[in-house]
Structure 1
Amino acid sequence: MTLTIIETGLVPEPLRGRFRPYPEMFSTMLARHGAGTTPSFVPVLEGAPLPDPAKLDAVLITGSPAGVYDPLPWMDPLRDFIRRAHHSGTKMVGICFGHQIIADALGGDVRKSEKGWGLGRHVYEVVPDHPHFAPGIKTLAIACSHQDQVIAPPKMAKVILRNQFAPNAGLAYAGGRIMSFQPHPEFEDDYSSALIELRRGKVSQDIIEAAQDSMKTRSDSAILARAISRFLTG
């Protein structure tokens, strides 16, 4: 199965010598956790055209520093791509910005949250009985890095991951062909910590220190990665 990864963001320039691009992070994550996919990258930031989603096996939309409200030339074409993918029943996964733009394109409300920055390892409640999570999993601790949030999901979406900071952190869409998440299972801990440090001086010292301290919590990224793999290949 070919997984078309829509690259909507770049690793921040100060970190590019140390860390791989986001599509490669996802490719590594999925290879490690058994998705059995062949990746194909679409760098929309470089002007790459979006393919016909009806001809694709599956799609993954990456994170980005952009917000859905930014007037970027690739934003409306991506919304149209998402709507056509939904109409054609193409499997689709969104992470962070990907989670937000899917919700935005399909009728949800996405904005910069009044709660400010979510940084570090957050613990999320897993809504019971979702088929892509193994039975008995009640919480997941996953790294996040965002200001924007899905404030109101589309009517066709059900919340499957949540916490007090981000009540709509995971969504599963009617029809079983779209799933998206606010946190980043593709991030290794050293990259998450480096991102936190980049915010130093821009975010309060208390938030930075709490975020770095939270990285001591054991990561459940592998559990979420396996759920995404099962979704893509199931």
Structure 2
Amino acid sequence: MNETNDGFTVALLDASVGETPAERNFGRELDADVRAYKVSEGEFPPQVETASFDVDAVVVSGSQTSVYDDESWIGRTEAWVRDAVDAGVPLLGVCWGHQLLAQAVGGEVEPMGGMGELGYETVRRLEDADPLFDGVESSFLAFETHTDEVTALPASATPLAETDRSLQAFRVENAWGVQFHPEYDRDTARWVTENKRGWLTDEQVDAILDTITSGRHAETAQAARVFDNFLAFARRRHPMAEGRSLDDCSVQDTHNS
């Protein structure tokens, strides 16, 4: 995608470690001017509510780390995200970003045990009316790769989706988290699974690889709709839209619980 030239800018907080497909995948899926910041290497956007802050929405990527790891950049990212939520900046956290958002607003993240969720899973929506899932079916297929999960949310957050094993989406103010990976293409799904060798047995890895077919992956198109829905929501709060400033846009809307 990334064909829109309307001055709408998304800051991508890339929490992945080392060379990964994260920036490429989000750049392809987000129809906006995407500015990537490698937060795992200490690169951050300007602080929210300062004169130099000039982005319209924020996306936080996945990572090979845990959000509760004792790394200075993780604590700094959590504080930055908390400030963005408090300021009403539209924000979407994906996988690790979903967990970090939960932790930043007072939720809890813990290890799942075992191999977690790896591969295609059926996600079930819990709420009928939320803009992130406009046009998305009540259950849909998504690719998962995580061994931590959000186990508790603050009272201000609304759970939005789940699998049989874990919370898959929630909303707090103008921010959402999704545990699944709507940005993955088939090559990334295979790359991530191959990298599990040594942690999982070859038989386990091969069994998951066998499911990553072009036909199967095409079924995740419903999951990818969350990007268009998120950007549509964020554009309604674009500082230049209809001559309004961000302060003119209420943090609440008719979909917020």
Higher-Rg member (1/2): 2
1:190 equivalenced with 2:197 (yes/no):
no
Q: Give unmatched runs, 5+ long, in structure 1.
A: 32-36
Write the mapping of 1:30-45 to structure 2, written as runs, cut at 5 A.
30-31=30-31, 37-45=32-40
Consecutive aligned runs of 4 or more in structure 1 exceeding 6 Å deviation: none
Match of 1:165 in 2: 165
Q: TM-score, normalised by structure 2?
A: 0.78
Count of residues paired in the alignment: 219
Match of 2:90 in 1: 91
For the residues of structure 2 that align with 1:43 and 1:84, how far apart are their CA atoms?
A: 18
Counterpart secondary structure, 1:74: helix
Q: Which amino acid aligns with 2:205?
A: I
Match of 2:240 in 1: none
For the residues of structure 1 that align with 2:187 and 2:94, how far apart are their CA atoms?
A: 19
1:156 equivalenced with 2:124 (yes/no):
no
Name the Cα RMSD after superposition: 2.0
1:136 is displaced (CA, Å) by 6.8
1:18-62 C-alpha deviation (Å, 9 max, x unpaired): xxx31221110123xxxxx11111112222234222333110000
1:137-185 C-alpha deviation (Å, 9 max, x unpaired): 121111111111111123222111211121x111122x3x111111111
Closer, same or farther: CA 159–115 of 1 in aligned 2, 3 Å = farther
1:210 is displaced (CA, Å) by 4.1
Closer, same or farther: CA 155–116 of 1 in aligned 2, 3 Å = farther
Q: Give unmatched runs, 5+ long, in structure 2.
A: 1-7, 234-257
Counterpart secondary structure, 2:58: strand
Contact 2:136 2:223 in 1 (8 A): no
1:110 equivalenced with 2:92 (yes/no):
no
Q: TM-score, normalised by structure 1?
A: 0.85
1:116-148 C-alpha deviation (Å, 9 max, x unpaired): 331111111122413332457121111111111
* Percent pairwise identity: 26
1:4 is displaced (CA, Å) by 0.4
